[in-house]
Structure 1
Amino acid sequence: MSQHARFNRHATPQEAQPSAPQEPAGAGQQAQPSPSDVKRWRQYLADERAEAAVYRDLAQNRQGEERDILLALAEAEGRHEAHWLGLLGERAGKPRRASVRSRMLGFLARHFGSVFVLALAQRAEGRSPYAKDPNATEAMAADEQIHEEVVRGLATRGRNRLAGTFRAAVFGANDGLVSNLSLVMGMAASGVASSVVLLSGIAGLLAGAMSMGAGEFISVRSQRELLAATRPTQVTLLAAPKLDLEHNELLLVYLARGMTQEAAEHRVAERMGLLPCDCDPSLSLQPELPDVEDQHEAVGTAWGAALSSFCFFASGAIVPILPFLFGLTGVAALVAAGILVGLALLVTGATVGLLSGTSPLTRGLRQLAIGLGAAAITYLLGLAFGTVVG
């Protein structure tokens, strides 16, 4: 494309000395590239092809605007592919395998096509090396920055759609893991028998799951009722023809909804059939329709949220008592419980990191530190309590 060619003509190596002019990067007359340059370009070429394929695979599972956006991203990656092909020429050789990251994205896009893929793609676009590579054009580096924001927007749509379920899953499972591990560690440290520790863990599982389910039911139901109470009704359409023109309170309705005096008066004239008038057409607002629900505040039903919270808490709370269910006792059971819960916390933390577009490892380690820290404190309290009672 012309813009690509324009930037390509002006791109110069960052290391170029002012007193020693060099051929522009990407120009046909540039110096013979080194083997390391060729290797790097071929890797870029493979990754661009793989990323374009990811966006095309994702587009197959989308419709309308999202599909068009993803195909446009694939087309942009194709332009980058053409740049590296132009530099390589006959040296392009047999296609290289894409990086492990790109291959993993491709596998997920083909088989799942979920928001996780977009979140990973967002991180991948944000780590593009083109800004520091002397052989990439300024336009390509700018493209990658824009792509990150485009993918962030698409991923945000997916995050909004699963916000309620995801909240119930992560918080429910994490609460089950941490609270029941803490309970088991505290009871074991106090010196009670392993059978008592197991029974306490089962009781903690059931009590916590019921509490989480009931709390989520009340939370979601309350949110939906609150939103329903604030949503405008259609009463103005029914009552307008019967209003007293001398004391028209319909104006107050629109003023209370936040309209300006002029816009409110115009809407009243429309509702009362007093138009036509020589008014500003921009004041003709859309008919009053229910506002779109805030996807972060009300997603799904109260019963669905309650059942999800119950199940996810129970799935987390059962992990610390698995060693006791399989016959382990004493320190061995506690160590096994700690390892199992630690692995589960790493998974939940990494999942949060993936969906939020941040480092899965960092989020996983943070989750692990918080969970095991809480369990360690409870264990120390159990030791102290057992010493006092003993």
Structure 2
Amino acid sequence: MGLSGFVREETTGRTQPPPGGSPRSPAAPPAADGGSGQRRDAFFDNAKYLAIVLVAIGHAWEPLRHGSRTVTALYTVVYAVHMPAFIVVSGYFSRTFDASPARIGRLITSVAVPYVVFEVAYTLFTRWSDHVPDRPVTLLEPLYLTWFLAALFVWRLTTPVWKAVRWPLPLALAVAMLATLSPSIGEDLDPQRTLQFLPYFVLGLCLRPEHFRRVRRWRTRLLALPVFACALAVAYLMTPRWDYAWLFHRDSAEELGAPAWYGPVMTLALFGCSTVLVACFLSWVPGRRTWFTALGAGTLYGYLLHGFVVQGSKPWGWYAPAWIHRPVGAVVVTLAAAAIVTLLCTPPVRRLFRFAVEPRMDRAFRRPRRAPHVPAQAQAAPGES
């Protein structure tokens, strides 16, 4: 949950003029890593923050789905948006990944190491929260939220491939469609999610700043209102008739009890729907600096840490009172989820957990040798841009 965009990556959210505004738009604060003096793009920081809020709200709504058709419809629409948006932005900020030693070093420290740390932490925590004292610690079966880090690691490693082929998006869609036909693909590193969400990452790789500028035109913003209204209405009507587990992209068609041919069809249909909804979501993201812009740099913290709160709500009995399952309870849960994930993105929390989310491991990697006639200051350390 800056991926590049959501995890600390080579660009760390820094671009030239914001795609959603003019060069005169208010400048964002300097990049968190001190980089090259470029400024963070407020649009993408805003998008990251709003996306992580949707992720937290979606997880908070899970216990409220049963018995509430309205909450289930809202849950369905949120799940059609938040992870695709997350992954599209991840792909967009992975465009510069070239598998060089410096990039590989940053990928290990910003994705692989946090994956290991939080996979172990979630395993130990859920032994208590899920009452499974013998749950084994394994790095091959991502637990809960950690699947995203495992998938991002694979996606980014394959970036040079998608940049080299002529039709990357159709090829990625074909891979995702074939994955739904493969119930025996295994569970190591959650390959179903990695392959079925792949087209969104590749879509991000294909995007350019002008695409974000176009999606933020006022006409698109106005059109987004009826689009979201229609999506919510369709979700409400379909709630008793379809399995929203298709939106999780973690199972094959056969595992979801559907004919094999449903898989490829649903892959294309959901990709089209989610892409439209992501465009509508991005059209509403402000391009100027707001009170939450600075929180966009800490979305990976909010993503990885809010899961402990969600898991802890089970033994703590937060959903036990009857009023929680009424409309007023749903509103309270929504506000609480937004407030908690906001808190987890703040600088004090980031300083406290930086050792796990953004570890400094410069000594673990060799410094690249200087090329002949290249000044020393032109060389970048593995953990730098």
- TM-score, reference length from structure 2: 0.24
Larger CA Rg, structure 1 vs 2: 1
Instruction: Tell me: higher relative CO, structure 1 or 2? Use CA pairs within 8 A at least 6 residues apart.
Output: 2
Larger fraction in helix: 1
